[in-house]
Amino acid sequence: MDPHQTAASPGGDAGGTVASEAARRRTFAIISHPDAGKTTLTEKFLLYAGAIVEAGQVRSRGARRRATSDYLAMEQQRGISITSTVLQFSYRDVVCNLLDTPGHRDFSEDTYRVLAAADAAVMVLDAAKGIEPQTRKLFEVARARHLPVLTFLNKFDRPGREVLELLDEIEEQIGLRATPVTWPVGVAGDLQGVVDRRSGHLIRFLRTTGGATEAPVVVVAPDRAAAELGPAWAHAHEELGLLDAVGADLDVPSFLAGTTTPLFVGSALTNFGVRLLLDGLIDLAPGATPRLDSEGELRPVEAPFAGQVFKVQANMDRAHRDRVAFVRVSSGRFQRGATLVHEPTCRRVTTKHAATVFGAERETLEEAYPGDVVALVNAAGLRVGDTLYEGKPVRFPPIPAFAPETFATVRVRDTGRSKQFGRGLHQLDEEGVVQVLRDPDGLDPTILVAAVGPLQFEVFRHRMDDEFGAPVEMLPTPHVLARRTDKDSLAELRRQHGVKVLTRADGTLLALFESPYNLVRLERDKPELTLEAIIATS
């Protein structure tokens, strides 16, 4: 037998079971600008799925965040969630895996990686604000991953912008054509209900105290709605006529291809439209989809177990100082205790300590199916992008990440702690907290760290100090962006003013630029140079 192979899982598949379990998974992330309502909507999904009885028991925003996912001291101090994990709940006959993207203003590598593990995304927009910078950035990642995106226009309980204008903005700014599934009757701030365009019926919502419990709905036939609502209904119908005229109708193939977005309106706070959105997600978003392997072949979900590490987090449990690798199952059935092969090293990995993790809470996980996320506790040596499999060897392509935008030199404050410093650099680089960059020729001893957003630097500084006992000094460098390059471009890039070429631990060469104009000029004048914005993480 090939030494890289392990025996197929005991009991084989169950191919049929795996396929049907994969089909009933919905693995998705919510993307939004901070404050658009992601946390509130997540809580309301849990409420409608029956996973919590009452929403908003913890009223304060900070406290609510603390209640879900924090474990680093820094998170507690700031009341934000720095790490991302997964929340699993059942709704109807479907298992939803909601991947939590960090909820802070800053942007990190994590966000990109989490989206790599999702099969769909829900984009939440504040109806008073429309597309905001972070939504745009996150959407770019979703687009790069060809993720189908549903849109929720939130905060309709208070004054907002014209919906037709918001549809134009979505199309203009992110190139996604919105196809409304529900449409508001009455203006934002005085929402009378929504029309379900599929049936033509009016859905009216009743408020509950603080939106703590489900909003009761009344379904009203069009004739009665017209009589009861008069001008508001007539106005909504006029707008619906416009939508019909331009053909802005729900279209599943183009949604799955990522060119149209089914749009829902409502208010996460008062629960208006939440169930319609959740039902839309279940009905429209795909089940666990077959993933491409590095040969470009789609791996069927019924194939033997294979999964990819999309996130590694150390010290989630401060009492144990452990390291958790999050694996998205791509095919087959995962069973706790199975021995898997770690693709890059061919090492065997035991999975006795498999768990589901949300924030500080952990539960042992016995089995998982395509679309699910398995947290492997203390699985040393697993890195983001690595593949784990059973049976014939398989490898998934590296998880792409966007180029870093923040850079600093770093050195240990006390040279007596150099060993700890080296260990910390290695660990935090491996986890992807920062990228550690060095001179490719080893002549200049200066070490740079790079990240997508500045908050990563704070996490890095804090952990170097707190976990590795190696406080660091960091000085920002004048660089503002980076591009992946190669050896053939190296000599020319070194001749350029305001450009520095450094290497990562995995050998990837990065060209750092002090001004975006340098880059634009170079791209124009020297098109033969390799300068790529998307950088593979492994």
Question: Which residues contribute to the site for ligand G4P (CB under 6 A)?
Answer: 32, 34-40, 59-61, 103, 154-155, 157-158, 267-269
Nearer to ligand G4P, 32 or 85 (CB): 32
Nearest to 30 by CA among 94, 93, 90, 87: 87
Nearer to ligand G4P, 60 or 294 (CB): 60
Give the shortest CB-41-to-ligand G4P separation in angstroms.
Answer: 7
For 362-395, give the DSSP string. Answer: EEE--EE-TT-EEEEET-TT--TT-EEESSS---
Nearer to ligand G4P, 152 or 460 (CB): 152
Nearer to ligand G4P, 31 or 382 (CB): 31
CA atoms within 13 Å, Cβ hemisphere of 23: 7
Give the shortest CB-103-to-ligand G4P separation in angstroms.
Answer: 5
Nearer to ligand G4P, 125 or 401 (CB): 125
Nearer to ligand G4P, 269 or 325 (CB): 269
Is 456 in contact with 106 (CB distance < 8 Å)?
A: yes
Give the shortest CB-427-to-ligand G4P separation in angstroms.
Answer: 30
From CA 386, how far away is CA 190, in angstroms rounded?
51
Name every residue whose Cβ is closer than 8 Å to that of residue 247 and which is 6 or more positions away in sequence. none
Give the shortest CB-100-to-ligand G4P separation in angstroms.
Answer: 10
Is 56 in contact with 63 (CB distance < 8 Å)?
A: no
Nearer to ligand G4P, 215 or 388 (CB): 215
Is 259 in contact with 178 (CB distance < 8 Å)?
A: no
CA dihedral angle for residue 435, residue 437, residue 440, residue 441, rounded to 10 degrees: -140
Give the shortest CB-248-to-ligand G4P separation in angstroms.
Answer: 24
- Which alpha helices (DSSP H) does 230-335 contain, by range? 231-246, 252-256, 274-284
Per-residue burial over 347-356, b = 16 or more CB atoms within 10 Å of its CB, e = otherwise: eebebebbeb
Give the shortest CB-270-to-ligand G4P separation in angstroms.
Answer: 6
From CA 308, how far away is CA 328, in angstroms rounded?
5
Nearer to ligand G4P, 41 or 403 (CB): 41
Nearer to ligand G4P, 9 or 154 (CB): 154
Structure tokens at 329: 């199952």
Give the shortest CB-424-to-ligand G4P separation in angstroms.
Answer: 31
Give the shortest CB-101-to-ligand G4P separation in angstroms.
Answer: 10
Region of 175 please: left (phi>0), alpha (psi -120 to 50) or beta: left
Give the shortest CB-47-to-ligand G4P separation in angstroms.
Answer: 13
Give the shortest CB-80-to-ligand G4P separation in angstroms.
Answer: 9
Is 371 in contact with 94 (CB distance < 8 Å)?
A: no
Residue 133 CB neighbour total at 10 angstroms: 10
From CA 535, how far away is CA 427, in angstroms rounded?
20
3-state secondary structure of 427: helix
Nearer to ligand G4P, 158 or 201 (CB): 158
